[in-house]
Amino acid sequence: MLRPRRSVLYVPGDNERALEKTQALPADAIIIDLEDSVAPSNKEQARVQATEAIRRGGFGSREIILRVNPIETPWGMADLHAALAAEPHAILVPKVSQSGDITGTAKVVKASGAPSHIRLWAMIETPMGIINAREIAACGPDPDNRLSCFVLGTNDLLKESRARASNNRFAVVPWLAMTLVAARAYGLDVIDGVYNDFKDDAGFRAECEHGRTLGMDGKTLIHPSQVDPCNEVFSPTEDEVSWAHKIIHAFEQPENARKGVLTVEGRMVERLHLVMAQRVAAIAKAINARSKTEEPWF
Ligand code: COA
Ligand code: MG
């Protein structure tokens, strides 16, 4: 079944209270962070708290991702080994700038004998990561690399580029779009960056819509108040689901079995639209199933 990744909430690994709160929030996925949101003095404590929380469980059907520190930092390798022992659904590798950052991490994962269901996610957040997005995404098809998802780190990109986020992310859009097509070329999911001003509801919703329009699967979040509006924007609307079912129904008719193009309610519909409709229907079904269960998804 398709995995909805509409709302992906960060929580600092050393914030025990917030960690506990995530278990009652309707986010599709939780990224427990050991990197940017944890001060150097708290890194060891955060690692222990985060991995204990993952082992204890209680996150229901939410996907749990642990963001480790870069491997070359004093904490990176210990984070990775602790993550593998705790068995989150995925490990998020920060500041991925070349394919070797993924293949190198995947080798450590393989050598540890970690279960095959643990995936790697990659943060695309450096200028070199954008330039190399294609070669990084090309790690996807090799199952040994376990790569399944890109996460945009727009705060780091703004810092590195000296650009501004204003004017509908004018400066950021080329990076988002390049990362998105690279990911899609190799079958990966892509999650948009965060919106820092968590009290600005209208601005946040507009940025969700912006990401959805660009083709993002979901958005990374920093605050509980962002979860519901994000889920709403990244779910197919009732109209979209009903239109998808009309297209599927039309192509199911025996008289249309050998046709490549049809007219449905006065609009041209080709078989590529059928593929799109099947995806919308599958995502809607997965969202519906997800909202009805608190069972872990594996
Ligand atoms: N996940 C779960 N719960 C969270 C949360 C999060 N990311 N952020 C805040 N909360 C909880 C708080 O614990 C608080 O709970 P309480 O009222 O029961 O005590 C409640 O939501 C309201 O929080 P609020 O007072 O509005 O915010 P804050 O000042 O405590 O925290 C931030 C604001 C931005 C520091 C905090 O939201 C945060 O740390 N976000 C994640 C940052 C991060 O991980 N960044 C890395 C990637 S960019
Ligand atoms: Mg970052």
17 Cβ closer than 6 Å to some ligand 1 atom: yes
33 Cβ closer than 6 Å to some ligand 1 atom: yes
Taking only the tens of pLDDT, the chain with its 298 residues reads 789 999 999 999 999 999 999 999 999 999 999 999 999 999 999 999 999 999 999 999 999 999 999 999 999 999 999 999 999 999 999 999 999 999 999 999 999 999 999 999 999 999 999 999 999 999 999 999 999 999 999 999 999 999 999 989 999 999 999 999 999 999 999 999 999 999 999 999 999 999 999 999 999 999 999 999 999 999 999 999 999 999 999 999 999 999 999 999 999 999 999 999 999 999 999 999 887 777 775 5
pLDDT of the residue at 216: 98
Ligand 2: distance of its center to the CA of 87 in Å?
22
**Residues of 232-245 as b/e, b for ≥16 C-beta within 10 angstroms?**
ebbbbeeebbebbe
pLDDT of the residue at 297: 56
Residue with CA nearest ligand 1 atom 4: 18
Ligand 2: distance of its center to the CA of 39 in Å?
13
β-pairing, 7-12 vs 218-221, is parallel
Cα(94)–Cα(199) distance, integer angstroms: 27
**Atom number of ligand 1 nearest to Cα 35:** 46
Looking up tokens 């098809």 gives 141
Ligand 2: distance of its center to the CA of 93 in Å?
10
Ligand 1: distance of its center to the CA of 19 in Å?
9
Apex 6 CA angle, 142 and 238, nearest 5: 120
**Atom number of ligand 1 nearest to Cα 30:** 1
pLDDT of the residue at 298: 54
Domain boundaries, the chain: 7-234, 238-292
Mutate to test the pocket of ligand 1, among 17, 198, 222, 225 (most ligand atoms within 8 A of CB): 222
Q: Taking a C-beta distance cutoff of 8 angstroms, is the pair 171, 196 a contact?
A: no
Helix then strand then coil, % of the chain, to nearest 5: 50, 15, 35
Cα(160)–Cα(106) distance, integer angstroms: 27
Cα(260)–Cα(239) distance, integer angstroms: 24
Ligand 1: distance of its center to the CA of 226 in Å?
11
196 Cβ closer than 6 Å to some ligand 1 atom: no
Residue with CA nearest ligand 1 atom 27: 223
Q: Taking a C-beta distance cutoff of 8 angstroms, is the pair 232, 26 a contact?
A: no
Ligand 2: distance of its center to the CA of 290 in Å?
29
3-state SS, residue 35: coil
DSSP of 175-230: HHHHHHHHHHHTT-EEEE---S-TT-HHHHHHHHHHHHHHT-SEEEESSGGGHHHH
Q: Within 10 A of 121 (CB to CB), how many other CB atoms are there?
A: 29
pLDDT of the residue at 290: 82
pLDDT of the residue at 246: 98
pLDDT of the residue at 196: 97
Closest ligand, as measured to the CA of 227: 1
Q: Which CATH number fits domain 7-234: 1.10.10.60, 3.20.20.60, 3.40.50.2020, 3.30.530.20?
A: 3.20.20.60
Structure token pair of residue 206: 């507009």
Contacts of 263 (CB under 8 A, 6+ apart): 269
79 Cβ closer than 6 Å to some ligand 1 atom: no
This prediction's pTM: 0.96
Question: Could you tell me which residues are beta bridge partners of residue 30?
Answer: 9, 64
Please state, rounded to an integer, the average pLDDT across all residues of the chain: 96
12 Cβ closer than 6 Å to some ligand 1 atom: yes
